[in-house]
Amino acid sequence: MGKNNNIISPFQIGIMGFFLGNAFFVGMGNLNVIALVKQDAWISALMSIVICLIPLAIILYIINYQPDKNIIEKNKLIFGKWIGSIINIIMVLYIFIIFIILIWATTNFAIIIYLTDTPRPFIILLFLLVIIYTVIKGIETIARTNEILFFITITIIVIIIIGLYQYSDFYNVKPIMKDGIFPIIKGSLLYLAYSFPPLITLLMIPKKMVKNEKLFNKSLIGGFVFSIILIALVFYINVSIITANLFDLYRMPAYYVLKKINIADYIDNVENFLSLHWIIPLFVTMTMCLYCVSEYIKQTFKIKKEKYINLSIIVIALIAGIISNYLFKNGIASYVFMNNWFPYSISLIILIMLIITAITIYIKKKKANQEKNQDSDS
């Protein structure tokens, strides 16, 4: 990775927050949330804005501490060398698990929609080649690529909204809050479990690497909130067109909805192009996961030669790809894992770890201020 390829803008940070915030909703989180709260899924998503700001605030608090360091260096500074190293291993393994899950989700989506008869390993390799090349080029290239993909995504979303507006019927989302507020709150918590985990990859980017770092917080919050609003809109459009009760009949209900879009009466299979807006967040998140794991390997083993850094990136990606090929036997197994295990165990573990880190930083800062005040008084 190039040494000078390490400067990104606040806008690019906001874009990362946008993509990372909705990666787990492609064929996984969206189905689970709608299955839980039915036609009120869009309300749960909007309500989750307040809830989701809590882990985001914790992440920003950690990022703002020692802004010239990434999380690998911070953990050793906060907890000491040995405990910090253990926490780093747990965190990187967590990011690696996210990487593996998303590789499976991406290839599964591609097989169902685009490449039905194509072997899964071949599709995995195609995605990994692009991701590996992007990560090798460095964080600035990752950020610039994300910026281009963002404008492509927004263009596709505008086309989808215009194309589906005529089919949307508010009657299909009624009755609102039929079962009261508690299922909606539960849905918001489930939304939280899917939306915030990929954001921890941003901890690997020192705040000092961002131009005009004063805008860092606002940009990240803005991008993340925009991602929630977008998912709420997706929930509303899908439910208002095919109703929540029919979601279980389709493997990819959102893709089925896109089939209704007709451009100029002669462009066939336009849904294949429009569905790319689901692939893009997955690609961005996988790229950030590989970047984080490779940075950990580079710093832990003090790898300085570029060829060895690049080799580590390739090896990590291939290991993740091989594991993902055997991760889930079918879509039902992935549904059970993402609905029963991921939100209430894996996401909860990393949230607790972030809370402990933030509390420890607060105690350290408070102790440092007290010592500073005592020195000034003396």
The sign of the CA dihedral 261, 266, 272, 273 is negative
Cα(7)–Cα(271) distance, integer angstroms:
36
68-84 b/e with 16+ CB inside 10 Å = b? ebbbbebbbebbeeeeb
Q: Take residue 18 and report the two structure tokens written for it.
A: 């946008």
- CA distances to 29, 115, 160, 163 from 157, rounded to whole Å, are 19, 23, 5, 10
Cis geometry, peptide bond prior to residue 281 (ω within 30 degrees of 0):
no
Looking at residue 356, what is its pLDDT?
95
CATH number at residue 247: 1.10.4160.10
Q: Residue 110: which residues within 8 A CB-CB, separation 6 or more?
A: 118, 123, 127, 279
Looking at residue 371, what is its pLDDT?
77
Q: Is 8 helix (H, G, I), strand (E, B) or coil?
A: strand
Considering 23-32, 136-145, 341-350, the range whose residues carry the highest mean pLDDT is 136-145
Looking at residue 1, what is its pLDDT?
46
Position 3 confidence tier, pLDDT thresholds 50, 70, 90: very low
Question: Mean pLDDT score of the chain, rounded to an integer?
Answer: 87
Q: Residue 5: which residues within 8 A CB-CB, separation 6 or more?
A: 137, 138, 139, 140, 141
Q: Take residue 65 and report the two structure tokens written for it.
A: 């501490």
Looking at residue 226, what is its pLDDT?
94
Q: Is residue 2 part of a domain?
A: no
Q: Is 210 helix (H, G, I), strand (E, B) or coil?
A: strand
pLDDT in tens, 86-121: 999 999 999 999 999 999 989 988 887 777 788 999
Q: Is residue 3 part of a domain?
A: no
- CA distances to 173, 201, 211, 261, 287 from 197, rounded to whole Å, are 29, 8, 25, 33, 15
Place of tokens 């993909």: 149
- CA distances to 204, 211, 261, 301 from 2, rounded to whole Å, are 17, 18, 43, 18
The residue segments making up the domain with residue 175 are 10-365
Cis geometry, peptide bond prior to residue 119 (ω within 30 degrees of 0):
no
Which among 20, 23, 34 has a CA at the least distance from the CA of 104?
23
Q: Is residue 315 part of a domain?
A: yes
Please calculate the CA angle 337-342-345 and round it to the nearest 5 degrees: 125
249-277 b/e with 16+ CB inside 10 Å = b? eeebbbbbbbeebeeeeeeeebbeebbeb
What average pLDDT does the segment 289-313 reach? 95
Looking at residue 4, what is its pLDDT?
47
In the chain, what is the greatest distance between 2 CA atoms, to the nearest angstrom?
82
Higher pLDDT, 53 or 328: 53
**How buried is residue 307: exposed, middle or buried, by Cβ count under 10 Å (0-12/13-18/19+)?**
exposed
Position 146 confidence tier, pLDDT thresholds 50, 70, 90: very high
Helices (H), 196-275: 216-242, 253-258, 270-274
Q: Is residue 5 part of a domain?
A: no
pLDDT in tens, 236-286: 888 888 877 766 666 666 667 776 666 545 555 666 667 788 889 999 999
- In sequence order, the β-bridge partners of residue 8 are 210
Q: Take residue 127 and report the two structure tokens written for it.
A: 């995605």
Q: Residue 81 corresponds to which amino acid? A: K
Domain count, the chain: 1
The helix/strand count (H/E) of the chain reads as 15, 0
Q: Is 181 helix (H, G, I), strand (E, B) or coil?
A: coil
What average pLDDT does the segment 176-191 reach? 87
Q: Is residue 378 part of a domain?
A: no
Q: Is residue 64 part of a domain?
A: yes
What average pLDDT does the segment 208-233 reach? 92
Looking at residue 110, what is its pLDDT?
85
Extended strands (E) in 241-302: none
Q: Is 37 helix (H, G, I), strand (E, B) or coil?
A: helix
Q: Residue 252 corresponds to which amino acid? A: M
pLDDT in tens, 52-87: 999 999 999 999 999 999 999 999 999 999 999 999
Q: Is residue 373 part of a domain?
A: no
Rounded to two decimals, the pTM is: 0.92
Q: Is residue 26 part of a domain?
A: yes
Higher pLDDT, 4 or 20: 20
| Cβ(105)–Cβ(334) below 8 Å | yes
